[in-house]
Every structure is written in C-alpha cells, then in structure tokens.
Amino acid sequence: MHILVCGGAGYVGSHVAYVLAERGHEVTVLDNLSTGHRQAVRWGRLIEADLLKPETLEAGFDRPVDAVMHFCARSLVGESVGQPYDYYDNNVVGSLNLLRAMHRHGVERLVFSSTAAVFGQPISGRIRENHPKSPINPYGASKLMVERVLADAARAYALRSVSLRYFNAAGAAAQAGIGESHFPETHLIPNVLRSALGIGAPLKVFGDDYPTPDGTCIRDYVHVLDLADAHALALDFMDCNVGAHRFNLGNGDGFSVLQTIQTARDITGLRIPFAFAPRRDGDPAELVAASDKARSGLQWSPRFDRLDQIIASAWDWHRAAAY
C-alpha cells in the first residue's frame, strides 16, 4: 500500500514510517518541519506542506494514496492551556483541511493519532474506551473534537478511520537511528536521560502532593515501536471494518515520576538530580490504560512491556543522538 504519513518527521510519525517500510509499504511523509526533523525522514520521500495551508496538501496526493496516517498536532498540555486558539486552529482546523483533501482525492481510510488526554480526570483505575470523556485541557479537547468529526465523516462519506489513544509514548528505535527529540522537551523520560547526560535544563518534577503513593504523577508508558505496530495493524483492521473506531494503547501498568527516575538511574548508573516544582495546569494524577480492546480487535500485543526495556531503548538513542 502507499501510505501518506502526515507528521512523519516527528517522533511517533517517523517510527511509524520505519515500521511501515519494514512491512513493505510505500511511504510518503508530509510535514511542515515546525517540530519534526528532516533527518528523521529516512523511509520514503518528504513533501514539505502545512495542514493550515490547504493548497500545499495537494502535493501529497500526486499519486494514488491508499490510506493516510495523521500525526500533525501541537501536543504540549501546558502550552495548550495558555494558547487555546492556536491548538484548536492547528489540531481541529488542520485536521479538517486534511480530511477535505482526502475526500477530494477519494481516499477513504485514516489512522488518527489521538491521546489519553480525551478522558480528563480518571474515575476508574484502568481506563477503557467507554470511560467518560471530559478533557481538562485544550489539547485533549481538540483531539476529542477530531474523533467526533471522524464519526460524522463515517456516516456522511463512508470514511473508515481508527483513532489510537496513546497513553505515554516512550522509547526509541536506536537501531534505525531515530528517537525522541522535541524543542522544548517536555516529556519525562527524555528529560530524565538528558539530565543523566548533563545536558539541557535542570530536571524538574512537577508536583509532589498528588493523591498517589509517593505524591508524584503516575503514567502508563508504551514503547513507540509498539505504537507503530498498532498503526500498521489498523490498516488490516480497516480492510474488514467500516465506520470510526477508537482504541486505547498502553501497557496497563502505571509508574510514578519518582519510580521512573529510579529506573533510569539503575539503567544508566548515573546520578540524576532533580528538583520539585509546582504542579502543571491540566495534569491528572494518574493515567493507566486498559488495552483489551486493541489486543482483541487489532490483534495487538506490546513487545516492550517493561519500563526498564523502554528506558533502555531510549538511553541507547540518547547516547548516540544526532539531533
């Protein structure tokens, strides 16, 4: 198949492009390179385009496209609280522009990069797909809006779609030369490893008074290559299933910030100093996935199901990082 990977120069998108190419698919990456990296596009051609400039999207459909994977989004929770207009513009309007381009060109399959942020504050332990949706920040709200658009598009235009709600993507495909590199970097594991290497800003732990065993946030980390596998499996799923579908993707285990730092210390053998800072707006205390639906519906099974495996793969990349 020929897959148009929108946002394929970014962290998750580049890993998905790698996995798709490894499975024999033809890949075209469409990216504006605002947060992605040109050197991360190693599989297929790169088209520089911007979802907020609809005329630039036409270049991505200059040859027949079988399916689109959509990773173009602004994704910083705290930033979204302070800049909601920008988030709704980029994440919702940009998605609508992409969907209109797909419709014009007769492309009827989409895999959408969604997020656990659509749920808001959990009211149960492990979060299932039918958990109430009450996002507490514009980032999560914008993603939920796109999920609703996809459901409407299924009825109106017979668009087949799969929305994959990531919990916390982490890890790297160091063997392929790609990993996690954001500017600024806000994700915990890369910041922990940058601190171990003595680069970047001093490590901050946001909040020590959450209702958790050690007072720090608990998150479910899922390896980026396991996420990539789920995207490839979603293509097969759409062969046999019409409509708009949603799946949670996580390992089902939660680890606190302090547990994550200690695991990184064990792997690196290095000191990792940190300081506590006030909570960030929009951060729930705990997010842990129930991924039973993905395991049964997509036949998805994580290969990296331990935190030490995930951090070790990220550490391999960060020690040799070229960008």
**Token output for 239:** 């062969």
Residue 100 backbone class (left: φ over 0; alpha: ψ -120 to 50; beta: rest): alpha
Q: Which of 139, 166, 210, 221 is catalytic?
A: 139
Phi, psi of 108 (to 5 degrees): -115, 20
Spatial distance between the Cα atoms of 25 and 35, rounded to a whole number of angstroms = 25
Q: Which residues contact 176 (CB under 8 A, 6 or more apart)?
A: 15, 18, 42
Spatial distance between the Cα atoms of 261 and 255, rounded to a whole number of angstroms = 10
3-state SS, residue 221 = strand
Phi, psi of 174 (to 5 degrees): -60, -30
**Exposure of 258 by Cβ count < 10 A (0-12 exposed, 13-18 middle, 19+ buried)?**
middle
| DSSP secondary structure letter of residue 92 | I
Q: Which of 23, 321, 28, 298 is nearest to 172 (CA)?
A: 321
**Exposure of 187 by Cβ count < 10 A (0-12 exposed, 13-18 middle, 19+ buried)?**
middle
Spatial distance between the Cα atoms of 219 and 126, rounded to a whole number of angstroms = 11
Spatial distance between the Cα atoms of 65 and 28, rounded to a whole number of angstroms = 9
Spatial distance between the Cα atoms of 228 and 239, rounded to a whole number of angstroms = 18
Preceding peptide of 184 cis, ω within 30°: yes
- In the numeric block, the tokens 């970014």 are attached to 10
User: Is 11 annotated in the active site?
Assistant: no
Q: Which of 97, 78, 114 is nearest to 32 (CA)?
A: 97
Catalytic residue list: 139
